[in-house]
Structure 1
Amino acid sequence: MDTNDAIDIFAALAQSTRQEAFRLLVAHEPEGLPAGEIARLLVVPHNTMSSHLAVLARAGLVRSERRSRSIIYRADLEAIRETVQFLVQDCCGGRPDVCQPLLDSLQPCCVPPATGEST
């Protein structure tokens, strides 16, 4: 990733509806959501949502796939991983302990609950 790619990603996410749409798609990984459902859940007109999804797609944050008559959108989690890696690639000046809190904060979302724990 280069600086221009990162700028495109941040510009795409610098608008509240696009940020909400992206976060919604992250929450619905790996199935994704149809464009109409994204618009309905965010209470945004379909044509407006299409424009926002196009911006996210051009920035490389979402992918789309036609399924029958619907277009299903999915968050590109690899793009987010690359963005975070770009931001912290020179982190800590050779001291991993400095970056450990950041790494720890990314873990809870992906760690399944232990067997027998209630949610």
Structure 2
Amino acid sequence: MDAEIVIRALAALAQEHRLAAYRLLVQAGPEGMAAGALSETLGVPASSMSFHLSQLANARLVQQQRQSRSIIYSADFAAMNALMAYMTENCCGGVPCTADTGCTPAAASPSSARKDVA
């Protein structure tokens, strides 16, 4: 993955509303969510949400598709997986991760999960 694309993706995610929107889109799966539903769920004005979704699309993290009068956004899972692979490609010095190394993502426990991010 090109470093410029990685920097653009990380910069897009480094904002509270965009990160929350992206996490919602990941949860929604391939079906995605309408821009209006994202705006309503996050309590962000529609014009602001449009700007944030545009930033995520420019970073190649989300895809958009028109369905009648709505624009449906969905996470680009291939881009997300490529970003995660880039971030962890040197984990453990190239040696396969084990339970002892801590490289394998663990499910967030209720006490460690942030409640302020959707």
Structure 2 distance, partners of 1:26, 1:53, is 13
Q: 1:11 to 1:94 in 2, by over 3 A?
A: closer
Q: Percent identity?
A: 43
2:34 paired residue number: 34
Structure 1 distance, partners of 2:94, 2:42, is 43
Write the deviation string for residues 45-100 of structure 1: whole angstroms up to 9, x where unpaired. 10100000000000011000000111000011111110111112222224213586
Structure richer in helix, relative to its length: 1
TM-score using structure 1 length: 0.82
1:8 counterpart letter in structure 2 = R
Structure 1 segment 91-102 matched on structure 2, within 5 A: 91-97=91-97, 101-102=102-103
Which 4+ residue blocks in structure 1 deviate beyond 6 angstroms? none
User: How many residues are matched?
Assistant: 107
TM-score using structure 2 length: 0.82
Unpaired runs of at least 5, structure 1: 110-119
Structure 2 distance, partners of 1:104, 1:18, is 22
Unpaired runs of at least 5, structure 2: 109-118
- Offset of 1:104 from its aligned partner? 5.0
Query: Is residue 92–residue 98 contact of structure 1 (8 Å, CA) maintained in 2?
Result: no
Structure with the greater alpha carbon radius of gyration: 1
2:116 paired residue number: none
1:3 counterpart letter in structure 2 = A
